């Protein structure tokens, strides 16, 4: 069996708010086709145009090649070898960033294809499922007012979510406003629902420490990306001086960056995005990195049902998983792009362990409606 094609398909909503940090406004799907007609699907979380160019670029020389040219004619079941071939072949414009983002989508598609060829779910190819269901937390952009935040929190708590994460949006330097948001949220959900805050890389260390002290009084479960991704010293100080769990890593795309976050930044939770960090192949290594450091790993997954499915298989097939991000965006990319969503009920998602590959199918009508020519 050989790879006969690698296709990158850019999807975009008719209207996109560039000032809104919402990954469900556009996406890049990857389709890897074998010569027997089997197709694997993956997803990239990046600038779609840039990542698409990484896939489609014509070969320049040995270590400056597009991913399609590197993979045509290869055995799609050689997933680990092909991952290293893609990394080496893009070295001139890679070593993280959009090149690794694009590799991530291709890697996910290769795992999906392998599962379909072998008749096994991806999690089983990893070595087996530790659980058949995962606790899901509702994930949404922070609304602009405390009243809106309270309404959203109450709505998702009534839907059965036992954990809700609010991020980005109006979160900023104003301590009083941030406190009004968390006070309103906690006021409607009570003590039983966990609340997480994604600060969106917005604070310096001193502000982050002040905010963390305020959030401690509202029993926030974790504080995510409170400082810039490269502020490793800031992460370390915050981790040492706050009682909150500190989380980060969704922006990272190299193994070394996660090592620094864990060992030098001393974060409690790393959050690799499988559509950025090197796909399932790299995420598997990161799971063991966190496991040996006795830290948690919770994948970031604010995209379509393709990434949610990949993240679900991943989190269910590692010893330190158990929690999954579940975007509640109403975007058709998040809600309609796959025909068979990962099933959610009573605060949990069910792992599609009876289906081959990732267990999802693309709705071709939705894809064509949103496809960028």
CB 299 within 8 Å of CB 280 = no
pLDDT band at 60 (very low <50, low <70, confident <90, very high): very high
CB 312 within 8 Å of CB 296 = no
Decide: helix, strand or coil at residue 311: helix
Over residues 315-344, the mean pLDDT reads 92
pLDDT score at 18: 79
Residue 216, pLDDT above cutoff 80: yes
Name which of 247, 250, 208, 196 is nearest 224 in CA terms.
Answer: 247
Over residues 95-140, the pLDDT tens digits come to: 899 999 999 999 999 999 999 999 999 999 999 999 999 999 999 9
Across 75-229, the runs of DSSP E, i.e. the strands, are 133-141, 163-167, 194-198, 222-224
**49, two tokens:** 């145009």
Under CATH, which architecture does the 3-119 domain have? 2-Layer Sandwich (3.30)
Over residues 245-299, the pLDDT tens digits come to: 999 999 999 999 999 999 999 999 999 999 999 999 999 999 999 999 999 999 9
- Which DSSP symbol is given to 164? E
**293, two tokens:** 């450091």
- Which DSSP symbol is given to 58? P
- Which DSSP symbol is given to 179? H
* Homologous superfamily of 125-370: Enolase-like C-terminal domain (3.20.20.120)
- C-alpha distances (whole Å) from 320 to each of 127, 317, 351 are 14, 9, 16
* Cβ atoms within 10 Å, residue 263: 14
Query: Using alpha carbons only, how large is the chain's radius of gyration in Å?
Result: 20
pTM, full prediction = 0.96
CB 126 within 8 Å of CB 132 = no
Over residues 220-250, the pLDDT tens digits come to: 999 999 999 999 999 999 999 999 999 999 9
Q: Rounded to whole angstroms, how far apart are CA atoms 240 and 10? A: 42
pLDDT score at 263: 97
287 burial type by CB count under 10 A (0-12 exposed, 13-18 middle, 19+ buried): buried
pLDDT score at 16: 86
Return the domain boundaries, the chain: 3-119, 125-370
Q: Rounded to whole angstroms, how far apart are CA atoms 344 and 348? A: 6
Average pLDDT, the chain: 95
Residue 172, pLDDT above cutoff 90: no
Over residues 12-47, the pLDDT tens digits come to: 999 888 778 788 999 999 999 999 999 999 999 999
Across 237-322, the runs of DSSP E, i.e. the strands, are 245-248, 269-270, 296-297
């Amino acid at each position: 069996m050989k790879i006969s094609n690698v296709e990158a398909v850019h999807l975009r909503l008719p209207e996109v708010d560039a000032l809104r940090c919402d990954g469900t406004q556009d996406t890049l799907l990857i389709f890897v086709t074998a010569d027997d007609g089997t197709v694997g699907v993956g997803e990239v979380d990046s600038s779609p145009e840039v990542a698409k160019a990484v896939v489609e670029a014509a070969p320049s020389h040995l270590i400056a090649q597009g991913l399609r040219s590197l993979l045509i004619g290869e055995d799609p079941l050689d997933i680990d070898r092909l991952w290293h071939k893609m990394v080496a072949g893009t070295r001139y414009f890679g070593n993280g960033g959009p090149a690794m983002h694009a590799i991530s989508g291709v890697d996910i598609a290769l795992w999906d294809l392998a599962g379909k060829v072998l008749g096994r779910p991806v999690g089983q190819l990893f070595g087996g499922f530790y659980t058949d269901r995962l606790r899901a937390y509702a994930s949404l952009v922070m609304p602009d007012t405390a009243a809106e935040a309270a309404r959203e929190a109450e709505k998702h708590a009534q839907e059965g979510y036992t954990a809700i994460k609010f991020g980005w949006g109006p979160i900023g330097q104003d301590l009083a406003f941030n406190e009004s948001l968390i006070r309103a949220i906690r006021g409607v959900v009570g003590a039983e629902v966990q609340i997480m805050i994604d600060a969106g890389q917005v604070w310096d260390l001193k502000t982050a420490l002040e905010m963390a002290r305020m959030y401690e009084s509202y029993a926030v479960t974790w504080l995510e990306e409170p400082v810039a991704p490269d502020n490793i010293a800031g992460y370390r100080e915050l981790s040492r001086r706050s009682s909150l769990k500190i989380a980060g890593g969704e922006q990272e795309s190299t193994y070394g960056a996660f090592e620094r976050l864990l060992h030098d930044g001393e974060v409690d939770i790393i959050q690799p995005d499988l559509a950025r960090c090197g796909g399932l192949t790299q995420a598997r290594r990161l799971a063991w990195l966190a496991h040996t450091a006795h830290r948690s790993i919770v994948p970031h997954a604010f995209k379509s049902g393709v990434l949610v499915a990949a993240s679900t298989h991943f989190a269910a097939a590692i010893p330190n998983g158990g929690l999954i991000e579940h975007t509640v965006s109403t975007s058709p990319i998040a809600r309609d792009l796959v025909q068979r969503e990962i099933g959610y009920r009573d605060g949990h998602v069910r792992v599609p362990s009876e289906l081959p590959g990732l267990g999802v199918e693309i709705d071709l009508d939705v894809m064509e409606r949103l496809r960028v020519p």
